[in-house]
Amino acid sequence: MYLNKFKLDGKVAVITGAARGIGFCTADALSEAGAEVILTDLNAEATEASAQKLRDKGRKASAFALDVTDSKAVEATAQKIIKAHGQVDILVNNAGIALSFVPAEVMDDFTWNKVMDVNLNGVFWCCRSFGKHMLERKQGAIVNLGSMSADIVNYPQEQAQYNASKAGVHHLTRSLAAEWAERGVRVNAVAPTYIETEMTKGVHERPPEVLKEWVDSTPMARMGKPEEIASVILFLASDAASLMTGACVAVDGGYTLW
Ligand code: NAI
């Protein structure tokens, strides 16, 4: 009875920024649980190659090019996907960028605006376009990629733009959750620690003290793996989390405890 709640057979899931990293692992996790997954990302070829990797495992997966900062493209793609698949049950707003190591006093407009645009505006455009459809069907689960950076200030790298954008994602998550709870749409977020993906690989080109600081600040004394975020997203997207909405779930090896 309980394990069945994690199953996603018959569900259609859209994941943004799914060509690689946490987004790709999420597509892997949701499709393993039975969902038909639609991977979206900036680069059409890379996204299609990632969808192919899942089809090679016998999963139902397709790809769409989508820049989440383009609200008109988000709406058009949502309509296209809904028309082609009949329904969207799960949306994972994963696309995100960091552009870290920029002290606030010298940050240019581009850096601030770009990070806000992808990390916060993009999440809202997708919630709006797919949420509308979910509300019509009176069912749906949205999982947003927040961050521990919504609650703490990372050290030693300066990244006010990223921290502020993710704090926005957490409160947007709660706001939409409250608006949509009675109408059958759940909205939750995951708040990861440092995860080993392309986003963080630049740390290895920094002085070793940076990675040491990250690890020493984490009770579990390690970074996370994208699969360790995907499994929590699977839980939140599934009926196993049917009473959860507006939660921003720390998946951080204890980082926010200290
Ligand atoms: P990644 O850099 O490996 O993958 C991000 C994906 O998003 C890429 O495929 C990229 O092409 C796509 N993307 C970027 N801009 C886009 C746009 N405008 N429209 C559509 N797609 C776009 O990053 P990673 O680590 O997998 O991160 C995924 C999410 O998890 C992000 O929201 C990130 O902020 C969040 N996160 C990551 C952490 C980490 O340490 N890696 C920690 C906490 C949160």
pTM above 0.75, yes or no: yes
Ligand 1 atom, smallest distance to 98 CA: 34
Cα dihedral 38, 40, 164, 238 in deg (nearest 10): 10
How confident is the model over 17-33, as pLDDT tens digits?
999 999 999 999 999 99
**Cα 80 from chain centroid?**
21
Q: Which residues line ligand 1 (CB under 6 A)?
A: 16-17, 19-23, 41-42, 66-69, 94-97, 118, 122, 145, 147, 192, 194-195, 197-200
Token digits of residue 188: 């939750």
How close is the Cα of 41 to the center of ligand 1, in Å? 10
Segment 153-178 mean pLDDT: 98
How confident is the model over 75-115, as pLDDT tens digits?
999 999 999 999 999 999 999 999 999 999 999 999 999 99
Catalytic hit among 2, 155, 162, 255: 162
* Catalytic residue status for 155: no
Distances, alpha carbon 159 to alpha carbons 118, 153, 156, 166, 212, in Å: 15, 8, 9, 11, 18
In terms of Cα–Cα distance, which of 156, 158, 224, 238 is closest to 191?
224
